[in-house]
Amino acid sequence: MKSSSCAWMLTVAMVLTAAAGTPATAHAAPAANDATALFLKGRKAVEQGNYKEAIEDLRTSYASLPSPNTLLLIAHAERGLGNRVQAMKLYEQVEQEASSKVAAGEKRYEVTVVEARKESGNLAKDLGIVVIRITRAPEGLTVKLNGTPVELARQGDTAASEKVWVEPGELAVHVEAGGKSFDAKEAVNRESKKDLAFDFVKKTGGDVAAAPVVAPTPEPAADEGKKGGAIPMATWIAGGVGVAGLATFAIFGSMAKSKYDDLQSCSPRCDESHRDTADSGKSQQTIANIGLVVGGLGLATAAGFLVFKKPDKQSPATVGLGVGPGSIQVVGVY
């Protein structure tokens, strides 16, 4: 950690300035002095590589006089011990706390923000991120990654984590609640984010909620069954119109085609003697097109009556297909 020694010396000056600039009461002065002394002792231990000793003194100092600079040294010490995940969490905490102080007007912590951001950025290149989401999660659910508990936030029956920093490699996931548990193994790479989603009920072999019980439909009476199986009269009517329309299309379409073939002998310029043939062909073509439309609608209407028919215990409906100028309507009396 020699590369960070200059930054640590700067944080010492910051803490001393903060301690000297804070008005102290008769009771607060000894505590502040002790915290500063422990900070200096911890800083020296970090420089000498005595990370365990440094963490103990620095944490005691931080408890008495919370300072982002003290926390920054603790993060350096954790990293020196190889606890990279813990160090990353602390660097993020340092950046957050120091940024809050800068926003409150304590500009001397701007360097602390820069230092924490730089260290976390470098460390992020060696770690991976995991986000966990557990659906149908019971109350009291606990999740551990490589044996370390993970904080979860609940929303309905779903429990999810924020991003969790992890060491790259094989990740052991343990989920437990209500006497049931399951384990999973996941591979995590450096500088990558992995979303892990599990269904607690499926993973633990729990009982899935039973489907609602539906009462059986009573058997229809003999007479009612016959009514339900009969094809409605409206279907026959609409179907007949459809068949007639298609027949009209076929007949007049064939006649129009014949007239067209006759005119091909003088195409593209025919004399006046062929005008009647041309007019007759146009009329037949128009009738054929109308027949096609009526036929298609008639058959579609028949199919609709057949599919959506319902037994009617009341008086039968009178339904018909009305064809008028420019329109086709289904009409009926109920």
User: pLDDT at position 290, please?
Assistant: 76
Q: How crowded is residue 82: how many other Cβ atoms within 10 Å of its Cβ?
A: 10
- CATH fold of the domain at 128-204: Immunoglobulin-like (2.60.40)
| Integer Cα distance of 205 and 183 in angstroms | 13
User: pLDDT at position 251, please?
Assistant: 75
Structural contact between residues 75 and 120, judged by C-beta atoms closer than 8 angstroms:
no
Backbone angles phi, psi at 51, to 5 degrees: -70, -40
Task: Spell out the CATH class of 2-124.
Answer: mainly alpha
User: pLDDT at position 302, please?
Assistant: 60
Structural contact between residues 65 and 28, judged by C-beta atoms closer than 8 angstroms:
no
Three-class SS of residue 267?
coil
| Integer Cα distance of 144 and 129 in angstroms | 15
User: pLDDT at position 199, please?
Assistant: 93
Three-class SS of residue 7?
helix
User: pLDDT at position 205, please?
Assistant: 85
Tokens representing 328 are 């086709």
Low-confidence ranges of the chain (pLDDT < 70): 1-32, 206-243, 245-246, 249-250, 252-254, 256-282, 284-285, 288, 291, 293-334
User: pLDDT at position 105, please?
Assistant: 95
